[in-house]
Amino acid sequence: MYNFTSVPQSLLTNPGADFKYEYYFGVPLLSGISANMGSTGFSAYSLFANDGVDFNTKLRDVVFSTTRKDHLALNEQVEIFNGGFKLGDWFENKGYISFGLYHEFDFLSYMPKDLAILALDGNRDYVGKVFNLGDLNVKSEMVSVLHVGYHKNVSEKLILGARAKIYSSAFNATSTKNSGYIYTIPGTTTAYEQVIYSRLKLNTSGISKYTAEDYDGDVVSDIRKKALFGGDLGLGFDLGFTYYPQKNVQLTASIIDVGFIKHSKDVESYTYEGVYKYEGINPNFISGGTTANIYDEFKDAIPLDTLFTKYTTWRPTKLNASYQYSFGTSSDEDCVCTGQEKDYKNAVGAQFFAMSTPRTPITALTAYYRRSLFSTLQMKATYTLDNYSSKNIGLGLSANLGKFNMYFMADNLLEYKDVSKANSLSFQFGFNFIFKDNNEPN
């Protein structure tokens, strides 16, 4: 989608994109639908292949073949409405306004490797190993985003844009700042010495009332109401630009979702914090039947507490940058490009993408080729190196039927022959009505 300016939604990836139409509006609920999934280290096939191997064996293989840096990420986005229009006539050049509302769901979890090994095997065979409780790192959120953007050609070579956003969080669950350890070593006076140091915390908002025993409402209806700015609120912004050092050379960059959400409604935080030291044989913390009330001592040393304090989360910030070289002059009848690009049928380029996470950023480098096939059809083919795959080939199409625009895009096309083996998949499509500027050549 980035810099695919025949599609209005490209403004959401760069508010300073070279996009010049009189006005446009999206088909409500159908102007932009996207979903993507990415998993490093394993695929669905690794766990669920019908190959006669026991699931527990597959699970162990996945756990021991991955690292704490591997992660699972899910995202889906649905536009409720979207539109834009030019301010003043073409010669006044007062800029362009775009606006809209979209719903977004995010989930990100890193592999809790040490905790998974401890759950599968216990610590009997790992005397001397330190299990890192900080491996637990997970976040999930559903938000609605109301936005308004402005961009303007400040010169023949430079376009600047900005977008303001209001976030409304329907629910959030975040556990990303954990620390602690568990280790067992041979004791000096007893069989074993075991130490547990825990600083675990799960922050939640908008969830606790649905898990209460006396809740008798409609979960779907309640979340829908929260999504329409009945949840926790936050603010954010996007910035971007397009620059032409030469007529057929283009540089772009954008930073998206620099923002936060203040969680204060229906807030509950759960903590396991404390230190416990035990000397003797390995205690059974589950049954509570050990001598000397070891189980009660453990609960007193590392209690489960519930807090009701406000907290703040930051949105996953995305950074984009691209270089593009255009070539192959065309007649106006052949070209559906906009702005400085209207004299060229072909373009090749490279794009860099990075997104912040609680640990290391998710990054991608894409090479692409874009071509105007007909006066009403544009194509963009991509090859991407990212955290998930080294053979990610994607394709995007944008077609205009009169004022009606439709677009379809998908990544990792080679994996569609067996999606269960794919480490990442993404697609997006939508439908808009676009009205060209009467003073601009078609």
Q: What is the CATH number of the domain that holds 226?
A: 2.40.160.40
How many structural domains are present in the chain?
Answer: 1
Is the pLDDT at 147 greater than 70? The verdict is yes
Residue 202 belongs to a domain: yes
Average confidence (pLDDT) over 61-68: 90
Q: How many residues can be counted in the chain? A: 442
Burial 233-265 (b: 16+ CB within 10 A, else e): ebebbbbbbbbbeeebebbbbbbbbbbebbbee
Residue 248 belongs to a domain: yes
Average confidence (pLDDT) over 415-435: 91
Residue 213 belongs to a domain: yes
Residue 321 belongs to a domain: yes
Is the pLDDT at 270 greater than 50? The verdict is yes
pLDDT of residue 208: 80
Average pLDDT taken over every residue of the chain: 87
Helices (H), 194-235: 208-211, 219-227
Residue 293 belongs to a domain: yes
98-107, 227-236, 384-393: which is most confident? 98-107
Strand partners, 184: 194
Is the pLDDT at 341 greater than 70? The verdict is no
Residue type, 229: F
Residue 211 belongs to a domain: yes
Is the pLDDT at 337 greater than 50? The verdict is no
Residue 3 belongs to a domain: no
| Residues of the domain holding 209 | 8-435
Residue type, 43: S
Residue 275 belongs to a domain: yes
Is the pLDDT at 285 greater than 70? The verdict is no
State how far the alpha carbon of 133 is from the alpha carbons of 40, 60, 110, 116, 301, in Å.
21, 19, 12, 10, 17
Residue type, 30: L
